[in-house]
Amino acid sequence: MRAPALCVANRKRERRRSLHRSARHRFIAAAIGFASLCASGCGRGGADVPTDAVEVRVRAQDTAWSAYYVLRSDAGVREVSTGREVHLPRGAEVDLILESRDYICLFAMPEQHLRDFAAPGVGGKFHFRAEQAGGYEFRGDELCGLPHTEKTRGRFVIEEPARFQDWVHQREKASR
Amino acid sequence: MKLNTRMIVGLVVVLALVAGALFVLGRGAPVAPSPNPAASAPAPAAKLLLPVLATLPEFMLENERGQPEGLDDLRGKIWIADFIFTRCAGTCPLITSRMAALGKELSKSPATSAIQLVSISVDPEFDTAPVLAKYASMNGADARQWSFLTGTRSSVRDLVTQGFKLPVGDGTDPSTPVFHSQDFVLVDRLGRVRGVYDALAEEGRASLAGDLARLFAEPQPQDLFVPADLEHPAWLPGRQAAQLAQASAITAPHDFKFTDEIGTSGIEFHHTSSVDVGKYYRAIHYDHGTAIAVADVDGDGLPDLFFVNQIGKSALYKNLGHGKFQDITESSGLAIGDRTCVGASFADIDNDGDPDLFVTCVRDGNLLFENDGHGHFKNITQQAGVEGTHGHSSGAVFFDFDGDGLLDLFVTNVGQYTTEKKREGSPYEGVLDAFAGHLHPERSERSILYKNLGGNKFQDVTESSGLKHTAWSGEAVAFDYDGDGKTDLYVLSMQGHDELWRNLGGGKFELTGRKVFPATPWGAMGAKVFDWNGDGKLDLFVTDMHTDMSGELQPGDEKKKHDPATMFPQRFLMTDGNHVLGNALFTNEGGGKFVEQSDAANVENGWPWGPSAADLNADGWPDLFIASGMNYPFRYLGNSVMLNEGGKRFADAEYIVGVEPRARLATPWIELDCDGADAQHDLCRGEPGPVMIGDPERPHTPRHGHVTAWASRASRSSAIFDVDGDGDLDIVTNNYNDAPQLFISDLAQRHVVHSLSITLTGTRSNRDGLGAIVTVQAGKHTQVQLNDGKSGYLAQSTLPLYFGLGDAASADLVKVRWPTGKEQIVRGPFKPGAPLHITEK
């Protein structure tokens, strides 16, 4: 198991806010838990869908989470919607960015003890390595005690890079 | 009574028509609310077969069982009303016998058995609940079907004449003291009058039968309970039983009961919420509710009530004695209805011996009213210079920070949680991420400290005092935490750390940071300073609402501190993360040091707003009432009563003393015309919206027709005082989007109550004596109270200090430490019951 590579910017921000020590440990521990989803090794995919590094935006709007791959190439940046099922190539370095366009939305992976939030103008960011193949549930956790709907629930699927590329292509085709 | 042939025929006809209508519509059992309205078939376009003759106003009366019963309790039911009085020798017996016969016939069919019968007494002074209970029994009334309502003379007459549009008045001779209608009135599920029928005429009763069938044939409104088990939550009976089973183990006296007598009190106030919290639900600070404040505004020796409303008029009720009140809002000059208000603080700002009133509001400026001593108030806001910054003001605290004998004022401003948009009939719309406001420094609003200059003028000294408080704060309490003779200020934060501002003297304050209270609740809402453990030092109790919002508060979790694993993410807290994860009870160890003992004292509860502390059982130990709970779309929770077990801990007792559960847990919250203007509303579209309704895996089915979404009832603020003057303490609440509760205690009827009521008059100190510390010694037991006027959430009241004396026959000594620092000792013995007035010497 590898320690998570929390993004540098995030670390600086956390330091500035003088996190309480134990709480900070919890935060890091949560991210470690998430990283432990992964095993080792990763493949490299096709030219337009890299599999060694993946950027995913998980966006909250109208009390729902929906996810998008951010694909960067010489032609520019494009987003590919993947709904609430986020496939990831095994072995990839993953940037997971939380954002919200309206309400405050909590993002949680209870089994991984991971919990963060997004609000308009206040996003969140995780970095981890997708190592162990399998499915991992995420959900919008309860802010203000509200029982959230299925629209805030989804899952990550860590799979072989080739299958991941197929998935992205399917999603791209479906969204055209 | 025997049914005559035509009546039997009429009822047979109605049952046949109803059955026929049900068959035609294929609706099953329309009388019972549909458990899964989402799955119901689209209704035909709303076509009314009967005219709407009138729409009943909100009312609250009391049934023969002594429970409040009003329009909200009858909503969702078809009901038939009549008007009678028990000592009526004329038509009433006949009307009642006709009603009894009608009830028997209706109960024969499942389709009509849920139709409610309601007999309203037009002689309410004589027809008390016990009198009506006897009358009901004599007439064989089944309480499940037939209720008998009483109230005050004015509330009943207003309802009959203005609601039902029927006559009622004083009779002309002693044998008929009241004249009234002899009609049956048919009311539909939405509280609309659909027919009026002569109860004594066969034609009238036949007409009623026919109209009932037509009413059933109309598209029926749907009732949607959110959450689905709202009316009968599975956890509640077990909770109630468990607490009752523990009663014998409680060492504090608990053999007394509260009864909600709002229905016969004459209080007709009904709180109305912003649509942001109602129809277009979003999480926003509007749902923090509004205040109830108490003071004797007209100098008659009886404390009067001021209810703050969110939408519509606030209301002032004159105390008539014996638990009866009269609305004097208009004549008092306090008919505030042009703005959205929050808090209310009574205090004598000009030391002229009467309580003046400060009211906080959202966006439209705060208000200060001077009392002329007779309960007439004059708006002096502009002249006094306390309008504020047109921000989002909340609780306000009068205290004398500079010791000049004039009450100064601290006004909390929460932060910018609204936009510039307005919906019709509602205040400014909230921002979507209101509870992330603390993450945006640009949304913060500075709270304001005003110095009282005398002559009804105030000066904003926020800047010069150093008390520059910008946290998201809605409440504050003033007390001398370190015993240095200067009153300090503890300011709560509902999204961050609370802050203690130390009074340095010379008009200056300094922030103590985390030195005194390293860990505070993150979501603090209300507070009370009181000596809970009887050691003579003033402790601080703080309720924490918002921490309970970090995760779904499951039944059974209310008494636990929040699980750190599901606390808000650190980035959201924006603090050092060192928090009490729930209510905090800071026990004063002296020398400005406190230790947090909430768990040991058992004062955790769920969704708390503000606490009121007072000696409910008069045993010499202060108890707690915590107004608690949420509304749409949350589950029911209820208020908390905690009895003080000799300063060792508190025992939960809300079910034991009759405060919980409410007779009906739900209230109508959202009215929707799903085939019309509201077709795009989430609930009409069948979307779960912000809440989970039904099975998430099933496709959403649009709803049609009229939909009423029901929500949990919940209180926000409370005040404790002797409402009916019988020597024990009663409780009045202000409930969100609902009628208030008026809990009258029967302690004095069950026991000889020994208590001492003390009123202070300052001479060199402020005339209210705010800031004085009063010690009462009775035998070996010594009690200490701070006279801070803090009666409950968002409010400050002018009330006598109430000291229960337990078994002591008298109090031996009273010591007052005035705000000037001077101690005054008054020696007894003081006999219980007689009010004690102490003037500063």
Mean pLDDT of B310-325: 96
Partners of B695 on chain A (C-beta within 8 Å) are none
Residue that wins the pLDDT comparison between B14 and A120: A120
Judged against a pLDDT cut of 90, whether residue B324 lies above it is answered with yes
Give the pLDDT confidence score for residue B761 in this predicted structure: 98
A127 burial via Cβ count (<10 Å: 0-12, 13-18, 19+) = buried
Mean pLDDT of B627-644: 96
Give the pLDDT confidence score for residue A147 in this predicted structure: 52
How far apart are the C-alpha atoms of A136 and A158, rounded to whole Å? 8
Q: Quick one: CA torsion of B147, B153, B158, B161, rounded to 10 degrees?
A: 80
How far apart are the C-alpha atoms of B323 and B744, rounded to whole Å? 8
In this complex, which of A24, A27, A146 lies closest to B690 when CB atoms are compared? A146
Give the pLDDT confidence score for residue B28 in this predicted structure: 28
**CA B802 to the chain's CA centroid:** 22
Judged against a pLDDT cut of 80, whether residue B84 lies above it is answered with yes
How far apart are the C-alpha atoms of A38 and A130, rounded to whole Å? 4
- How many H-runs (helices) and E-runs (strands) does chain B carry? 14, 53
Judged against a pLDDT cut of 70, whether residue B404 lies above it is answered with yes
Q: B283 and A103 in contact by Cβ < 8 A?
A: yes
How far apart are the C-alpha atoms of B382 and B12, rounded to whole Å? 69
Partners of B553 on chain A (C-beta within 8 Å) are 145
- The radius of gyration of chain B's CA atoms, rounded to the nearest angstrom, is 28
Closest CA to B490 of B418, B540, B534, B445: B540
- Specify the range with the lowest mean pLDDT, choosing from A64-73, B574-583, B698-707: B698-707
Q: Is B12 helix (H, G, I), strand (E, B) or coil?
A: helix
Cβ pairs bridging A and B (under 8 Å): 105
**CA B137 to the chain's CA centroid:** 33
Restricting to B residues 615-674, those with a Cβ less than 8 Å away from any Cβ of A are: 630, 633-634
- Specify the range with the lowest mean pLDDT, choosing from A2-11, B92-101, B339-348, B832-841: A2-11
Give the pLDDT confidence score for residue B425 in this predicted structure: 73
The whole-chain average pLDDT of chain B stands at 92
Sequence length of chain A is 176
C-beta separation of B325 from B377 below 8 A: no
SS3 of chain A: helix, strand, coil, percent, to 5: 25, 40, 35
Strand order of the β-sheet with B508-511 is B476-479, B488-491, B499-505, B508-511
Judged against a pLDDT cut of 90, whether residue B772 lies above it is answered with yes
Partners of A119 on chain B (C-beta within 8 Å) are 433, 436, 439
Question: pTM of the prediction?
Answer: 0.89
Q: B566 and A141 in contact by Cβ < 8 A?
A: yes
Closest CA to B146 of B120, B107, B116, B121: B116
Judged against a pLDDT cut of 70, whether residue B70 lies above it is answered with yes
Give the tens place of pLDDT for each residue, B332-365: 999 998 899 999 999 999 999 999 999 999 999 9
C-beta separation of B716 from B609 below 8 A: yes
How far apart are the C-alpha atoms of B268 and B264, rounded to whole Å? 10
Judged against a pLDDT cut of 60, whether residue B696 lies above it is answered with no
Q: Is B819 helix (H, G, I), strand (E, B) or coil?
A: coil
∠ CA B271-B276-B282, rounded to 5°: 125
| Confidence bin at A38 (pLDDT 50/70/90) | very low
Give the pLDDT confidence score for residue B25 in this predicted structure: 31
Q: Is the CA virtual torsion B416, B421, B423, B425 positive or negative?
A: positive
In this complex, which of A19, A103, A142 lies closest to B551 when CB atoms are compared? A142
Restricting to B residues 664-723, those with a Cβ less than 8 Å away from any Cβ of A are: 688-692, 696-697
Q: Which residue of B has its CA nearest to A29?
A: B565
DSSP H or E stretch at residue A65: strand A64-73
Distance in Å, alpha carbon of B548 to nearest chain A alpha carbon: 7
Strand partners, B418: B430
**What values do phi and psi take at B473, rounded to 5?**
-120, 140
**Mutation for B interface: A146, A148, A150, A152, most B CBs within 10 A:** A146
Mean pLDDT of B759-783: 97
Q: Is B212 helix (H, G, I), strand (E, B) or coil?
A: helix
**Mutation for B interface: A98, A111, A144, most B CBs within 10 A:** A144
Give the tens place of pLDDT for each residue, B206-265: 999 999 999 999 988 999 998 889 999 999 999 999 999 999 999 999 999 999 999 999
**What values do phi and psi take at B92, rounded to 5?**
-55, -45
Judged against a pLDDT cut of 70, whether residue B72 lies above it is answered with yes
Q: B549 and A144 in contact by Cβ < 8 A?
A: yes
Give the tens place of pLDDT for each residue, B721-751: 999 999 999 999 999 999 999 999 999 999 9
Partners of B432 on chain A (C-beta within 8 Å) are 102-103, 120
How far apart are the C-alpha atoms of B825 and B776, rounded to whole Å? 10
Judged against a pLDDT cut of 70, whether residue B575 lies above it is answered with yes
Sequence length of chain B is 841
| Confidence bin at A36 (pLDDT 50/70/90) | very low
Partners of A149 on chain B (C-beta within 8 Å) are 688, 691-692, 696
Residue corresponding to tokens 């209810």: B307
In this complex, which of B432, B549, B571 lies closest to A124 when CB atoms are compared? B571
Partners of A148 on chain B (C-beta within 8 Å) are 692
CB of B441 within 8 Å of a chain A CB? The answer is no
Q: B692 and A148 in contact by Cβ < 8 A?
A: yes
DSSP H or E stretch at residue A13: helix A8-16
- Listed in sequence order, the DSSP H helices in B228-379 are 235-246, 329-332
How far apart are the C-alpha atoms of B774 and B391, rounded to whole Å? 36
Judged against a pLDDT cut of 90, whether residue B465 lies above it is answered with yes
